[in-house]
Every structure is written in C-alpha cells, then in structure tokens.
C-alpha cells in the first residue's frame, strides 16, 4: 500500500465514509483531485465538493434547556449559549470525574474516517467507559467473509482494472464508488439488485431480484456453473474445504423453483453465463445483500459461489466488499474496553453521560424514536465538525478541527492506496483535534499519554502491506438456515429497501426524504402517506418511479424518517444493524 504523494505536503485526504478514499491537492485556497493518486485520478466527486462547502463548527456551545432545542437547525445555533473551548473542556472533565465510568458510553461514528480519529478511544478505554461493538453498516457481510476466508481484504485495484466483466451485486457501483467506477466504466456490467439503479441501467444484464433472495440466486448460479463445467477444481483442491457439501445445498431444490422465489428467470441465468463464461470476472458486492438478520450467511453463500467458479487468488478479477483496511498493520490505537454493548441496541437512556464523536445516530441508527427518547434522558456531549440532527439533543457541543487543519492518513476500505492529509490551513484556535483532545484528557486524568502524533503517522505512511488478499484456506458454507421474508409477507405489505444517493452521503449533506413506489402501488407522486412497521411509523411524501419493484418501498440513505421503521435488534452474529429485515404497511395520511 502506498500513495505517490506521501511527500507532497499539500495533499489532503477525503475523510468521508465511502470506498474511494480519494486524495486532493490544496493550492491557492482550493482543493483539486490529485492526478498522482491512481483512484482519484485528478477528479473530485460530488461528495468531496459538498464537504468543502460545509459550515464547520468554530465554537463550543452549552445547551441550558436541551428540551427547547429539538427543532434547532444549523442556522439557528445562535440560540445556544456560546462558551469558550476551555470552558467546554472543563465541563467535560467535570462530568467525567463525577460519572461512574461504566455509566458513560463512548459512541463513535464514521463521519470522519482518518486513522487519527480513533485516538480518543485510548482515553475512554483507560477511563473505563462502555464501548459499542458491531456496526450500522457492513458487519454481517464482513463476518460472513471472515468465516469463509479468514479475512475480508479486497484484491488489488489492478485486478479490477484487468477484469472483463463486472457484476454489481447489491451495490450501486457508479454512485458509491465513482472514482473506482471511472477506472473501469468501459467494461461489461451485470447488475443484481431489486432496484433499477443507475448502474443497472448501464448494464448489459439486470437481474431484478426479489429482496433477501440473494443466497438463493447464488445457489442457482452454482447449479448452472456445474452444468457449464465452470467449477474451479484447482482452487477447490488446493484451498477449499466443504465444496461438495456446498454443492449439495445448491442441488436440493428443482432449478425451476428458484424462478418464483428470486424473481429471476432461467433465461436470464442463461444470458448471465453467456456473458461471463471464459471471462475475467469481478464481483462488486454491496451492503444491500446483508442488511438482514442472517446477512452473514447470505454473504457467505455468495462468496462460496465466487470461490466455486474461481474468482479468488487470480491475477485479474475477484470479489470486492468493504475491505478490512487495517489488515496487516499494527493497531496503534488498540483498546480493550471493560464493557461493551451492541451498537444498534444502544439504549442512551441507560447512561448518565453520552459522548458522541463524529456520528448522527438520530438519523443513522435504527429505531429513531427510541434513540431520541434516550438522548433526552442523558447528558449528551457532541464532538464533531458540523451540527446535525443529533447535536440538537446535546447538552454540550465541542468543535473538532476540520480535515484541512489537522494531520491524518486515510486507508481505504475499497482499495489498497493510502491518502495523506497535511495541515494546509491554520487551525481555528476554538477547535480541538481528536489527537489533542486525547492528550488533554489523558493529562487531566493523569493517564499515560499516547505516542507523538508524527510517530504514529509515520508508521502508517511508511508501512508496506502486501499479499493480504490471498486466500490460503477457504471454508465453503455447508449449512444454511435463513427465514425468507417472502414466506411471512402479506399481500398488502411492502419490502423496505434503502440505498446510497449521489447528492448526499448517508446523513451528511442534503437528504431526499421521499418514499419511492412503483406506479402499480396505487399511490401517486405528492401523496402524503404513513409508513408503519412493528417498530414504528413515520410520514412521507410519495414519489412514483418505475425503477422500483412493485412490492418494494424505497428510501435513500440519510432519509430523516426511514429509521423510525427499522428494528434496533442486532443481526444473528455480528452485533450489527439489519435495516431491511422489515415489512411495512402504507396508508394515506
């Protein structure tokens, strides 16, 4: 792993939570894409442009009457009591000193993914705070990959460039990874997705699958691979265990039975193999396939199919997911918290002090009403670069220094290249970086300080990690136990689907709060409706779109109301969220 611009002191890394992790050059008070960074390739995406327009926090605030601040927007922050940074830190230390550590929860989000953002973990671990485990994003999928191949690292980016066919499976590739997509946009694409996404419209073939049937499609594809004599006998013999058991799973059902459950015709499966046979194939696996209770199993079946047809350990092609970006590196911020709680199941009301760093759980976490009720009952410290829906419920707001004014390094989960952030503008004296806050708190509590910032950064800049994607042993999935949503779905219910949007990134920037329905739903654009599930309900405006499957209700990630409907319980194995494990009703409001 390396970046060609490590020695360029004008480089800055995009801190946003996306696959590309691009790198810019800051000159003449402007950022432009670094031409020497292979993935960025001299261009900046919409999200980076939106980031540069952000109104970064420059002041600390005290919210003396939190209950009156629920409806504050970013331009109404003047109603909060402005205080000095020193006073805000004094208040934080006082609250920490007077709170039972186990009744303090440290809640870190993904609003900024630079490595130095993890430094506060080291203080809160020594302090004894409760930590979260699991995640709101890729946990079940990563768990499934790790069970099969003992890691979740992606192949080198060159493998993707050298492939001939790219399968976007549950991943709106051109939207979620615009820089990576630009490197391969002239390839032949196949899309597997319930929604006719932008990448589906550019694809040679779109398999518009029914929700939560991806594992069934993978089994069907395995049956056809056998008939096409496409199993990779060499990989199975040298690296695989349980391939025969996996194939037994695939042949337990008549081939024709998969058509009804998956919604994919056998004719389209034939076309699929006409396209991929004898080609170098890559699978870009997205989050959509694993947003379910058994998401780990579903992902593992897909990866087992990929292993069966020989996509692993090749010089071209492979399987990409949200890779383990730190695999092969020493963890300079390793912590061993005394107490943990599953991230989606956090009950903020159970804690006397809630420290939220770079997160927006009011929008991003499941069961929004439960989140809000919990924050209202706790003393909440919000530490971040911008105000958001969650900061409205904070008692104390501390501004983090923005990404242009602090050193950092970004290791991508989409590819192997690093992006380096240098200090390119003077830091506002009223803000404090994550590293500075960590050292300040360590000093206040007489804890041992962490290593010097430059020493930590130099390690990550100079470390070389190679060969981490190679699979030495692959365990094919041999048992599957998945409850199918279609078996419990009633005729008047809808599957609930979410996906990324070009104009915003999760809960950052401007959101689209509509619900998208197919014309045959009986509703029309502009209708005011109530969506309800067993976990909650919320009001939406309808937008009619033929790209949506008839029995699906679709919302973009970051929709302010969508998580009123989602289940806050964890998936079966990874302590992670399962946003699509829900069926909903729709009625006019």
Encode pLDDT of 469-488 as tens digits.
999 999 999 999 999 999 99
Same domain, yes or no, for 289 and 165?
yes
Domain-embedded: residue 125:
yes
pLDDT 10s digits, 310-369: 999 999 999 999 999 889 999 999 999 999 999 999 999 999 999 999 999 999 999 999
CATH of the domain at 121: 3.40.50.740
For residues 129 and 151, state if they share a domain: no
Pair (303, 185) in one structural domain? yes
Structure tokens at 527: 């209708």
Question: Are residues 268 and 310 part of one domain?
Answer: yes
Considering the domain boundaries, does residue 475 fall inside one? no
In order, the DSSP letters of 415-479 are: SS-EEEE---SPPPTT-B-HHHHHHHHHHHTTPPPPPPHHHHHHHHHH----STT--S-EE----
Give the torsion sign (CA, 219, 168, 318, 144). negative
Q: Judge whether 581 lies within some domain.
A: yes
Q: How many domains does the chain have?
A: 3
Helices and strands per DSSP (H, E), number in the chain: 19, 26
Across 247-346, where does the E strand assignment appear?
A: 281-285, 318-320, 339-342
Residue 68 in this model has a pLDDT that exceeds 60? no
- Answer whether residue 327 is part of any domain: no
pLDDT at residue number 80: 80
Q: How confident is the model at residue 5 (pLDDT cuts 50, 70, 90)?
A: very low
- Reported pTM: 0.94
Residue 548 lies in a domain: yes
Does a structural domain hold residue 118?
Answer: yes
Query: Residue 33: which H helix or E strand, with range?
Result: strand 30-33
111-124 pLDDT, tens digit per residue, is 778 999 999 999 99
As a whole number of angstroms, the distance between CA 211 and CA 534 comes to 19
Average confidence score pLDDT of the chain: 93
- Please check whether residues 113 and 197 belong to one and the same domain: no
**Same domain flag for 174 and 202:** yes
Mean pLDDT check: name the lowest of 94-108, 242-256, 507-521: 507-521
The per-residue pLDDT for range 543-588, each reduced to its tens digit, is 999 999 999 999 999 999 999 999 999 999 999 999 999 999 999 9
Judge if 76 and 166 occupy the same domain.
no
120 close to 434: Cβ distance less than 8 angstroms:
yes
* Pair 158, 124 in one domain: no
Domain for residue 4, yes or no? no
Higher pLDDT, 74 or 307: 307
Q: Which domain holds residue 254?
A: 139-321
Distance, in Å, from the CA atom of 458 to the CA atom of 148, rounded to the nearest integer, reads: 34
Beta-carbon contacts of residue 8 (< 8 Å; ≥ 6 apart): 25, 34, 36, 420, 422
Rounded CA-CA distance 310/232 in Å is: 5
Residues 501 and 554 in one domain: yes
Query: Are 247 and 339 part of one and the same domain?
Result: no
pLDDT at position 8 over 80:
no
CA–CA separation, 81 and 64 (whole Å) = 7
Residue 33 maps to a domain: no
**How far is the C-alpha of 362 from the C-alpha of 539, rounded, in Å?**
16
pLDDT of residue 6: 40
Q: What is the pLDDT of residue 1?
A: 39
Q: Are residues 338 and 404 in the same domain?
A: yes
Q: Are residues 251 and 125 in the same domain?
A: no
């Amino acid at each position: 792993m390396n970046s060609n611009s490590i020695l360029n002191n004008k480089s800055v890394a995009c801190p946003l939570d996306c696959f590309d992790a691009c790198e810019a050059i800051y000159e003449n008070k402007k950022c432009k894409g670094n031409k020497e960074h292979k993935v960025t390739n001299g261009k900046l995406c919409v999200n980076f442009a939106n980031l540069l327009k952000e109104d970064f926090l420059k002041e600390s605030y005290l919210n003396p009457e939190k209950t009156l601040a629920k409806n504050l927007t970013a331009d109404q922050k003047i109603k909060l009591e402005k205080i000095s940074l020193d006073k805000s830190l004094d208040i934080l230390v006082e609250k920490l000193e007077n709170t039972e550590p186990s009744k303090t929860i440290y809640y870190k989000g993904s609003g900024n993914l630079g490595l130095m953002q993890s430094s506060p973990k080291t203080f809160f671990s020594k302090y004894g705070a409760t930590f979260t485990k699991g995640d709101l994003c890729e946990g079940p999928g990563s768990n499934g990959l790790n069970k099969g191949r003992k890691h979740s690292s992606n192949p080198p980016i060159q493998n993707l460039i050298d492939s001939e066919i790219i399968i976007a499976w549950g991943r709106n590739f051109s939207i979620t990874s615009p820089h990576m997509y630009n490197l391969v946009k002239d390839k032949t694409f196949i899309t597997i997705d319930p929604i006719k996404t932008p990448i589906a419209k550019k694809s040679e073939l779109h398999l518009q699958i029914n929700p939560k049937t991806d594992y069934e499609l993978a089994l069907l594809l395995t049956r056809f691979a056998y008939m096409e004599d496409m199993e990779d006998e060499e990989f199975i013999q040298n690296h695989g265990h349980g391939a025969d058991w996996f194939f037994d799973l695939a042949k337990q059902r008549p081939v024709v039975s998969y058509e009804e459950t998956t919604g994919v015709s056998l004719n389209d499966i034939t076309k699929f193999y006409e396209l991929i046979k004898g080609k170098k194939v890559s699978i870009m696996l997205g989050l959509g396939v694993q947003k379910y209770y058994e998401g780990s199993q579903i992902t593992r079946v897909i990866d087992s199919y990929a292993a069966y047809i020989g996509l692993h350990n090749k010089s071209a092609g492979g399987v990409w997911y949200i890779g383990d970006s730190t695999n092969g590196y020493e963890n300079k911020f390793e912590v061993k918290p005394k107490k943990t709680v599953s991230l989606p199941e956090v009950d903020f009301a159970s804690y006397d002090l809630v420290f939220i760093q770079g997160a927006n759980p009011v929008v991003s976490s499941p069961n929004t009403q439960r989140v809000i009720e919990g924050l209202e009952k706790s003393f909440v410290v919000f530490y971040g670069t911008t105000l958001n829906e969650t900061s409205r419920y904070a008692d104390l707001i501390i501004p983090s220094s923005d990404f242009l004014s602090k050193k950092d390094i970004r290791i991508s989960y989409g590819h192997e290249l690093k992006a380096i952030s240098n200090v390119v503008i003077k830091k506002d004296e009223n803000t404090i970086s994550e590293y500075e806050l960590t050292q300040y708190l360590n000093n206040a509590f007489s804890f041992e300080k962490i290593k010097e910032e430059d020493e930590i950064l130099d390690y990550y800049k100079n470390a070389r990690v190679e060969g981490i994607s190679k699979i030495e042993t692959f365990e094919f999935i041999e048992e599957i136990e998945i409850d199918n949503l279609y078996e419990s779905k009633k005729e008047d219910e809808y599957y609930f689907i979410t996906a990324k949007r070009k104009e915003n990134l999760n809960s950052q920037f401007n959101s689209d709060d509509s619900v998208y329905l197919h014309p045959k739903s009986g509703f029309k654009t502009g209708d005011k409706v109530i969506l309800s599930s067993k976990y909650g309900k919320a009001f939406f405006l309808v937008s009619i779109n033929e790209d949506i499957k008839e029995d699906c209700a679709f919302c973009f990630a970051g929709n302010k109301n969508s998580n009123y409907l989602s289940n806050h319980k964890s998936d079966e194995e990874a302590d992670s969220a399962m946003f699509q494990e829900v069926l909903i009703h729709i009625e006019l409001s």
